[in-house]
Amino acid sequence: MKILLAMLAAAASVACGLVRSYSVEPRTAAESGWTDTIPGRDYVSEVLTVNFDLLDSTSGAYCELFAGTKGAGGQYHVAVLTYPGGFPIGSGDADGEVDHQWTKFKIGVQFPESIVKGKRLEFRFTRSGSDSIQYYTNVGTAYTYGFLRTGGV
């Protein structure tokens, strides 16, 4: 009986597990920046080392962006790319009608075999229309296993 209870507890903890690969809480306007609106320079992305097995929204996985000023309300988009290389392996969209709040992206993955622990992925965020993205970063709490990129840099 004790073994069965231990197995059930282990199964429940695995089923409810949440892996957070990287998170920085926005604190001040001085930690914000803006993307350009010119295609190819109109993104902000986070490159990180994978520490998870699944990314597809059907498994409950998602990513979030702290979106700043609403602007014209252009829809947000995230592309998940291999890094280096930039091969697209997944994507997701989110509502642009948000103002200084976390925006959740459910991601559809076309190439799940590309998600391998220890490899790097780039999560590239853009907006539709001519909207730019106000993003936040805190260089004082930089992620040891990744980095922020902006378009044109």
In a domain, 12, yes or no: no
Contacts of 108 (CB under 8 A, 6+ apart): 56, 57, 90, 91, 92
- Domain with 122, as residue range(s), is 29-150
In a domain, 11, yes or no: no
pLDDT at 77 over 90: yes
Split at pLDDT 50, 70, 90, the class of 134 is confident
The number of distinct structural domains making up the chain is 1
Q: Which long-range contacts (CB under 8 A, 24 or more apart) does 19-23 make?
A: 19/51, 19/52, 21/48, 21/50, 21/51, 21/52, 22/46, 22/48, 22/143, 22/145, 22/146
Which of 29-43, 103-117, 137-151 ranks highest by mean pLDDT?
103-117
In a domain, 115, yes or no: yes
